[in-house]
């Protein structure tokens, strides 16, 4: 059997990781400024993380959601405390797409409406409803194309209100900062006005913090810069530092009913052990502060470089947009300078490193980046 070939792959086999560095099968070391699509939050193979997963695996890896799982309770309590949402409830699943699916479903249960408002350049997943609220027709199959969705421009509050006034909108789903869309940031004012409109028109506000959350921007969630509270928040990626896990944080306005949501693997013992370890490390090592400080340094330094159209982002979620294609720049970063980065479209490089990135590593990246741009000889 062969793998179903849906991923364009670099000819690199990563076999080892430590902190913000990874190694390939040939022994080459790379600086990881992408964290496997913003997944690695506390660093590769953090000793405490490895210890806690090993301890749990030696006790119990899995049992079903038909019995009490005290690790789920511990995770919910810690997440509520660190995120500032201790009055919300937590539903655990396995991936970001699943989180968005369940949030959209719960919103529709709540107000008995169907239509969703999403935003231009949005990405929320590749499954059922999640892909339909993603602004990419090329990945929407006919079977997905049944849910009514309206896309409006980001930061256009009048366009949003024009849709909500029609009375048939169940939910608005928005990323804290658009990731796949190129690190496009909703303004704080827009988020505040959006929150007010959703309340006014009885529309559920879903904040997709799958990429922008979990400390990446220097606050636990990107939307907290705007001082708002959405009705639901979806999380994944950094929650497990590479272990598959996701969640929906749910406002007290929503009442659970047995059977309305469900999962086989979501919130299993091993996944919860990973997520608890992540929160412990984030708190003990003050990684939110580090993400803000190192992110501020990188954004300031990148803004000094010539030939860059725009720098966008907050904390360690950074977009570097060029006037032309960045294909050669990214390739040279990877194969000549041994730095992993991401892309958005054809013109934007994305930086999504582990939150433990040090100042020395950030300076090292800047030197390598300048060499690729021809701004530094060695």
Same domain (yes/no): 221, 235: yes
In a domain? residue 158: yes
Residues 244 and 311 in one domain: no
For the entire predicted model, the pTM comes to: 0.97
Q: Are residues 323 and 257 in the same domain?
A: no
CATH number at residue 214: 3.40.640.10
**Which residues form the domain of 149?**
48-284
Instruction: Among 284, 307, 340, give the residue marking a domain's end.
Output: 284
**Shared-domain flag, residues 184 and 231:** yes
Strands, E assignment, 176-309:
204-208, 232-235, 246-250
Q: Are residues 196 and 228 in the same domain?
A: yes
Whole-number Å distance between alpha carbons of 200 and 8 = 45
Please check whether residue 142 lies inside any domain of the structure: yes
Query: Which of 254, 284, 314 represents a domain boundary (last residue)?
Result: 284
Give yes or no: residues 75 and 191 share one domain: yes
Last residue of a domain, one of 250, 284, 318: 284
Q: Is 212 in the same domain as 130?
A: yes
Residue 378 lies in a domain: no
Q: How far is CA 301 from CA 108, 176, 306, 316, in A?
A: 45, 24, 11, 13
The answer to whether residues 30 and 55 belong to one domain is no
Does residue 1 lie within any of the structural domains?
no
Tokens of 103: 């949030």
Task: State the DSSP H helix or E strand holding residue 284, giving kind and residue range, or none if neither.
Answer: helix 269-284
Q: Where are the beta strands (DSSP E) in the chain?
A: 14-18, 21-24, 29-32, 89-93, 115-119, 149-152, 169-175, 204-208, 232-235, 246-250, 310-314, 317-321, 339-340, 342-344, 348-351
Residue 4 lies in a domain: no
Looking at residue 377, its pLDDT comes to 61
Mean pLDDT, each 10-residue run in order, the chain (378 residues): 96 98 98 97 98 98 96 98 98 98 98 98 97 97 96 98 98 98 98 98 98 98 98 98 98 96 97 98 98 98 96 98 96 98 96 98 98 82
1's CB contacts (< 8 A; 6+ apart) are none
DSSP-assigned letters across all residues of 112-139: ---EEEEETT----SSHHHHHTSS-GGG
> Do 348 and 252 reside in the same domain of the chain?
no
Indicate whether 279 and 325 sit together in one domain.
no
Same domain as 336, residue 192: no
Do 32 and 57 have their domain in common? no
Q: Report the number of distinct structural domains present in the chain.
A: 2
């Amino acid at each position: 059997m062969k793998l179903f070939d849906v991923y364009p792959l670099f000819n690199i086999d990563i076999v080892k990781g430590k902190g913000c560095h990874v190694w390939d099968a040939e022994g080459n070391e790379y600086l990881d400024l992408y964290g496997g699509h913003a997944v690695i939050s506390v660093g590769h193979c953090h000793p405490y993380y490895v210890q806690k997963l090993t301890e749990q695996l030696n006790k119990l890896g899995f049992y079903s959601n038909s019995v009490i799982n005290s690790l789920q309770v511990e995770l919910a309590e810690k997440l509520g405390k660190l995120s500032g949402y201790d009055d919300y409830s937590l539903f655990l699943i396995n991936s970001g797409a699943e989180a968005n699916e369940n949030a959209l479903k719960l919103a529709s249960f709540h107000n008995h409406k169907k239509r969703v408002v999403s935003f231009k350049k949005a990405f929320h997943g590749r499954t059922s409803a999640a892909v339909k609220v993603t602004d990419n027709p090329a990945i929407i199959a006919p079977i997905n194309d049944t849910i009514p969705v309206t896309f409006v421009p980001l930061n256009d509050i009048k366009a949003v209100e024009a849709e909500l006034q029609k009375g048939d909108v169940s939910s608005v789903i928005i990323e804290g900062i658009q990731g796949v869309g190129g690190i496009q940031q909703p303004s704080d004012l827009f988020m505040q006005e959006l929150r007010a409109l959703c309340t006014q028109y009885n529309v559920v506000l879903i904040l997709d913090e799958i990429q922008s959350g979990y400390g990446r921007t220097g606050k636990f969630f990107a939307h907290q810069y705007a001082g708002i509270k959405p009705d639901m928040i979806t999380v994944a990626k950094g929650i497990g530092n590479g272990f598959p896990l996701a969640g929906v944080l749910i406002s007290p306005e929503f009442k659970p009913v047995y059977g309305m949501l469900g999962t086989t693997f979501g919130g299993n013992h091993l996944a919860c052990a990973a997520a608890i370890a992540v929160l412990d490390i984030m708190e003990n090592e003050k990684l939110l502060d580090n993400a803000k400080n190192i992110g501020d340094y990188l954004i300031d330094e990148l803004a000094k470089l010539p030939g860059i159209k725009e720098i966008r982002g907050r904390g360690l979620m950074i977009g570097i947009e060029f006037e032309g294609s960045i294909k050669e720049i990214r390739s040279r970063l990877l194969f000549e300078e041994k730095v992993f980065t991401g892309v958005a479209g054809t013109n934007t490089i994305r930086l999504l490193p582990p939150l433990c990135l040090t100042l020395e590593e950030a300076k090292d990246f800047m030197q390598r980046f300048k060499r690729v741009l021809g701004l530094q000889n060695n």
